[in-house]
Structure formats: structure tokens, C-alpha cells
Structure 1
Amino acid sequence: MAHKGMAFGIFLAPFHRLGENPTLAMSRDMELIEWLDWLGYDEVWVGEHHSAGWELIASPEIFIAAAAERTRHIRLGSGVTSLPYHHPFLVAQRFVQLDHMTRGRTMLGCGPGALVSDAYMMGIEPVTQRPRMDEALDAIMLLLKCEEPVTLKTDWFELRQARLHLAPYTEPHFPIAVASVMTPSGVIAAGRHGLGVLSLGAGVPGGPEALANQWKIGEETAAKHGKTMDRKNWKLVVNVHVAEDDEEAMRQVKRAERHETVTYFEETLGRPPGRSDDPLTEGVKMGTTLVGSVETVVKGIEKLWELSNGGFGGLLFRAHNWANRQETLHSYELFARYVMPRFQGTADGPRNSNEWARGNRKTIFSPNVEAIRRAYTDAGREIPADFLQRASGSRDIEGTTTTP
């Protein structure tokens, strides 16, 4: 397959069940980011939510600033900043500052706002959220050019000869991506500016099958506006959990997955009940949920790749608390050790070198036996009778016997 160099990371809403100490929950989120940085994951996208009890982070910018001081390599972005809730000038200013403070590790994720309850508390009508996101994104992209002062007026914000205090640290600007769930509005917004896409819809029923069409819409929109879409900047968000085998992986997550789905998504957010008696197993079959052994998860990613009809740039775990702390951290470790190399090519060199050495063993290592004999004789020492049992290359010397 042609998807070497795929990026991996998490989409950290986060999700924490009711009754848990929220202070400790956020500390565990920070611990997870530090662990991912150590394991070599590429990026983390931190959510913005203000209600409904489960998704606790109100300011991804504050969280990113703290995480930047605790990490060395991993990129840190908002997943996502709800643009209708903020004046676009302030969004641009804050992320430019973060871009400087992180020395180029900052990313901006944009969306209209996922929780209707957030918008309700601020008096924002749901039907206005997507148009407002588009208007705010237009303004942000103009400001980030750092060319002429920007003067712009809408029915909810105004810019008067506005210019950023600082130019972005990253040239021409930090990575920007737009969230896409069910409707085409996200990929259309991304296409208008040639931005990246965060496909949260990949993890819902029917999502994987819709990927190719969604990307096509984005590309067509980009072409109309003189822009191009780069698949490298397309990230899919899905549920992932890895264990030693499929049965163990399912056992670890099944109970908490049910609790989250029923108490939060159905009873709180009002989504209809699942269409299956066993939605977790059904999700694994559909490819919206990658729970299982290393091989099962690898096959799931390969299926998503095929459905995308051309590939994507990265896969993001929808960071959940379906398993306990130890099992969760171990899942990320298993993925980093055994899944990531399959899609990044990092294990190819050692494997190719091993195959070369094995395939040419007799030619390469057999002469070592004579070299050892000469070392003894040149030193005037008696050659040990059993030295062949310990010498590299002796296996292929005719007449050599080895002990079991």
C-alpha cells in the first residue's frame, strides 16, 4: 500500500463520565498527552465544550499552552474551536501567540459548535452557526495573510482596519483544519480555503462509505476557488482500542462503551437508540470502530484507506475512557509499537536488513569460523573443541553438530 508516513494522534473532546473528579480527569488527559509524546504520536486535537457534563475542557488554548510545556515533539491543536462563539480577530491572535510559544507546534481546528446546549446558553440559534463559522473563517484567513488591514462587517462581528500584532511563527501560517461530520458544510468550508479536514463522521454508521464523496465535494469546491486540497491534511477520527487479541479488547471496553453511548449520546444529547442489540460489535464490522488485536486494527485502517478512494493523511483516536487507565495506556503503546510502523515504514529497514542477512547467511557468516580459528592459532593457543557451538557462521559449516 502507498500510505507510508501516515500521521497518528488523538481527538481529545474529552469524554469523562459523571461522578468522576473533574480535576483529576483533566490531569489524566494531560498525562495521556505526555505519554503519546513519548510514544511518538504526531498530534493531539483538544476540544471546546461548555455544557452537558461529559466534555470538560472549555478552552483548548489554555490546555494547549500547558501541554506544550510538558511535551517535546507532538503537535497541539484545537479540536475544535467553535468559531461562532468567538470574535475571529481574537481567535487569530490567540493561535498566532500559541504558534510562537510552541515554536510551530500549534494547529487550529475550526467548527460551528458541536453541542447545541452551548449555543443555547449564549443565545445563538443553531441555524446561524454554520454561516457564522464560514464568516469567521473568511476573516481569520484574511488576517493571517498579514497583508492589507482588514475591514469587514457582518451581523455579528466587525473588523475595522484590523491587522495582527504578530505574523504567524509558521510560514505561511499554522495548519488549519475544518471539522466534518454528516453534512457537506465542513468539506465545503475547507475547500474554499484549501484547508485540512477532520472527518469525525468516519466514526458513525455510514461514515466510512461516505468518505470518498465528501472529499470529492471538497476538491470540487477548492477548484472553484482556485485552491487545492491535499490528502495529507485529511484526518479521520474513529474509535480505537488495541489489546493482545480481539476477545480481550472487546472485554476491556464493552461495559463502558455502553454506558457512554446510552447515558450521554442517547439520554443526554437525544440521539436515537442504536439499531443493533450489540452496537459495539456492529461498529467493528462496519469499520467505524477499530477494537481488537493489532492485526484486526491494521485491517480496519486498510479498509478505511480503500473506502477513501485515494488515501488520507492521518488517523485520530476518538479519545475515550472505555477501558481502565492501565488498559488504555497499554492500547496506545501497542498501537505505537506494532500498528504505526505498518503505515509509516519505520520497521521496513530492520526487516529488510534481516532478510538480507538471513538470505546470504552462508556467504556472509561462514568465513567467520576460519577467522576465529586463525585468531587462536595466531595467538599460539589451542583451538577449543567446542568453539563451533558458539561461533556465528558455524551452522553452515559441513560436518558441524550443534547441541539442542
Structure 2
Amino acid sequence: MVDLGFFAMPVHPAEKDYGTVLRQNREALILCDKLGYSEAWIGEHFTSTGEPIPDPLQFLASVIPVTENIRLGTAVLNLPLHHPVKLAGQIAQFDQLSGGRAMLGIGPGGLRSDLEMFGEKVEDGYFKMVESVDIMTALWTGEAPFDIKADYWDDVVLKEFIQKDIGLGLQVKPKQQPHPPFAYAMRQPSSGAMSIIVERDWIPLSGNFIPASSVKAQWQAYCESCEEHGKKPKPDMWRAARSILVADSDSEAEEYVAREDSSMQHYFFYLRSLEARRNMPDASPEERQAVIAERVNEALEQQIVVGSAKTVTDKLIAFRDDVGPFGTLLMTGYDWDDEELWKGSIRKLAEEVMPVVRQHAAATDKAL
């Protein structure tokens, strides 16, 4: 069985009306719930109007009353930017409000402007992330008094002001026990990163902004890490995101993608611009633009799945046969520069494409 989910950073034109951005993203999640998508993931960025969701938990909470079954995940919460004591309480509250639908994609902080504004060091990010998870887990699974030692955060101490009969010193707990599942978004194949995923049974997330060869390498690294730790791989846990557009015809999809002002082109232009600024700090603007243009064209050739329902079905089947048996396909959310086109794509993927993909996956997985 292959589940279908939704992932949005989300990326939008920097000048787009913010109210419209929020409305469209809420409508996307509500539509996904109605169509049977199993989960939706939303990103977190503080210092970019091109990725304008600074509080994914608050945003996701806004759709709790108007959705029924879809699980609601962060992708990702940048843990070095949040005090773990505060975040542990916020996550527990969100999980209770959602009826146990929370999923926790986490990361060390990816947007350099966020890290700069918060005064965080890139080299500390991973260690602060892991330590934050340890602190939150201790709070969710334990009870005061606390004396939690930390290297990258202040020690978490609560010894004196405790009166349990009135609840003083006690922390709220999430509905899911011992806590909602953690997920780690992967970008480059990395056995080191896979090691902590396997050790802690985190959900591995493969991004949509990497080629199929990298997705395949991530699965291989995960399997190798499982073998090293004496565990069996869990393909049902693996999420793989793709940039998908299901149109009425191949020509409609191709013409849309070819437009320089299409949201697909803008999406990769934004990502490659961030990448060029990070990797080419001393290059001239002209040199950067040349590399950005080349990388955008490469992404549009290698990293998107577009066409009619039949074409997209064939491409997704070939993709899964190539990279490995992921348990959930995540459709990437794009700016709704054409609302009907993108709503139709979300619907066609669920109703016309996935039944065939699931049938093929069931047959091939059974044969393994």
C-alpha cells in the first residue's frame, strides 16, 4: 500500500498578498483531507516572504476544525530556534487539539537568514537539534523534579516549585504516547544522518528538490544503516516527495512548465538562488545567474513529474520501481498562480493516478 500525502515549504512570490497565501495553503490542506490524503507537512521560515510560514503549528492548528483524518506535520521545525521546554508544551497542546494527528519533522535550521537573525551558528545546529529532542522527550515521558544536563542548551532544572496536588511543576503531555513521531528531512545521501534515523526510529523524508538518483541513494544508505544496527528496513515509514502536476493533457502541463512566470519555474529559481548564494559567496551576480539558470533547467528536466494522468501514473510507477519501495508519496505544494489547475492536479492525483500506482506497488512489493 502506498499512501498519498502533501508537502509544502511553501514557496510563493515574495510580493504576493500574505492573506491570499494563507488562504490558498489552508484550502490545499482541506482539499487533501477531503480526497483522502493521509498527511500534510508544512515548513517553517522566519525571514523570507518567499517562504512565509513562521509558525507551522499555529497554521496547522487553523485547519484542525475543518479536517477529519489527515495527519498534520511540520517539515520542518528548526529546533535550534526554539527553546525545548516551550516547544515541548506547544507540541503537546497541538497533539491534543488535533486528536493525536501531530507529526514532527525536525531540522537543524536551513535558512541562513533565520540563523543569522537568531544568532545561531551553523556548526551547532545538528547538536542543538538532537539535544532538543532529548530534552523534550524527557519532559514528555518523565515527571518533575527535573535536572536535565545539556551542552548546547541551558540545563533544564525544576526542583523547588513543585506541588503536584495542584499541578504545579507538571507539564502537559501529548495525546500520542510516548510522543508524536519524529521525521528527519534528508537532502543529500548520508549514512551518518541515516544512522540517527535508524537508531531512534525516525521517519526518513526524501525531498522533492533532489534527483531520483539521490533518492535511491538515500534508501540504500538507510538499508545499510539498518543492517549495521541489526534492524530491518521499514519501507512503510519512508516518505518520498516529488514535484507533480497532473493536467488534462501532456501539452497543457508542458506549456505551463515552460512559462517563465510559472510557479514551478519560480520554485526552483528560488531554491537555486539560495543555493548559489550559499555556495558561491564570492561570485559576481552574472556568474551566479548563469549557474542558477543552468540548475533550474536541470531541475525542470530531472526532478518534476508532469503530464496527463496516464503520463504521471507511468512516471511515478517508474520512479518507485527505480528508487525503492517508499510507503508514502508526498505531492509538493506550489503557489496557486492558477487555482483551478493546481486544485485539479491535487484531485486528479488522488482519484486517477494513485489507484493505479497502488495496484502496481501491491503487486511488485508482494513479489519482493
Aligned to 1:297: 312
TM-fit CA distance, 1:132:
1.5
Among candidates 317, 320, 324, match of residue 331 of structure 2: 317
Are residues 1:40 and 2:31 paired? no
Matched position secondary structure for 1:273: helix
Q: Is the 8 A contact 1:194 1:222 kept in 2?
A: no
Give the 3 Å change call, closer, same or farther, for CA 228–122 of structure 1 in structure 2: farther
State the match for 1:238 in structure 2.
Answer: 242
Cα contact 1:93–1:165 (8 A) shared by 2:
yes
CA distance, structure 2, for counterparts of residue 209 and residue 231 of structure 1? 12
RMSD of Structure 2 on Structure 1 (CA):
2.7
Question: Matches of 2:35 and 2:150 in 1, distance apart?
Answer: 46
**TM-score with structure 1 setting the length:** 0.75
Decide which of 257, 264, 279 is 2:298's aligned counterpart. 279
Aligned equivalent of 1:157: 154
The answer to whether structure 1 residue 146 and structure 2 residue 142 are counterparts is: yes
Displacement of 1:140 after TM fit?
2.7
Letter in 2 for 1:179: A
Partner residue, 1:181? 187
Q: Describe the shift of the 1:217–1:63 C-alpha distance in structure 2 as closer, same or farther (beyond 3 A).
A: farther
Report if aligned partners of 2:36, 2:350 keep a CA contact under 8 Å in 1. yes
- Helix, strand or coil: the match of 1:103? coil
Between the aligned partners of 2:295 and 2:46, the Cα distance in structure 1 is: 31
Instruction: Give the structure 2 partner of residue 122 of structure 1.
Output: 118
- Asked if the contact 1:193/1:222 (under 8 Å) is kept, the reply is no
Return closer, same or farther for 1:141/1:217 CA change in 2, 3 Å cut-off.
farther
Q: Which moved more, 1:41-50 or 1:152-161?
A: 152-161
What TM-score do the two structures reach when normalised by structure 2?
0.82
Match of 1:366 in 2: none
Partner of 1:84: 80
Question: Cα gap change, 1:139/1:191 in structure 2, threshold over 3 Å: closer, same or farther?
Answer: farther
Please tell me whether residue 168 in structure 1 is matched to residue 174 in structure 2: yes
Q: 1:250 aligns with which of 245, 248, 254?
A: 254
The answer to whether residue 198 in structure 2 is matched with residue 191 in structure 1 is yes
Counterpart-to-counterpart distance in 2, 1:94 and 1:290: 36
Please tell me the residue identity of whatever aligns with 2:22.
Answer: M
Matched, 1:23 2:42: no
Runs of 5+ unmatched residues, structure 1: 349-404
SS for the counterpart of 1:79 is strand
User: Partners of 1:211 and 1:334 in 2: how far apart?
Assistant: 29
> Corresponding residue for 2:284?
none
Q: Say whether the 8 Å CA contact 1:208–1:304 is kept in structure 2.
A: no
Rounded to whole Å, the distance in 2 between the matches of 1:211 and 1:39 is 29
What are the Cα deviations for residues 239-261 of structure 1, in whole angstroms up to 9, with x where unaligned?
Answer: 11101222211222332223333
CA distance in 2, matches of 1:186, 1:194: 12
* Counterpart check, 1:207 vs 2:219: no
Mean CA deviation greater in 311-320 or 297-306: 297-306
Structure 1 position 63 matched with structure 2 position 78? no
Distance apart, 1:276 and its partner CA: 6.6
Relative to 1, partners in 2 of residues 1:105 and 1:302: Cα closer, same or farther, differing over 3 Å? same
Shift of 1:107: 1.0
Count of aligned pairs: 334
Q: What CA deviation, in whole Å up to 9, does each residue of 1:101-147 have, x standing for no partner?
A: 11111111111112111101111111111122122223233333337
1:387-402 → structure 2 map (5 Å cutoff): none
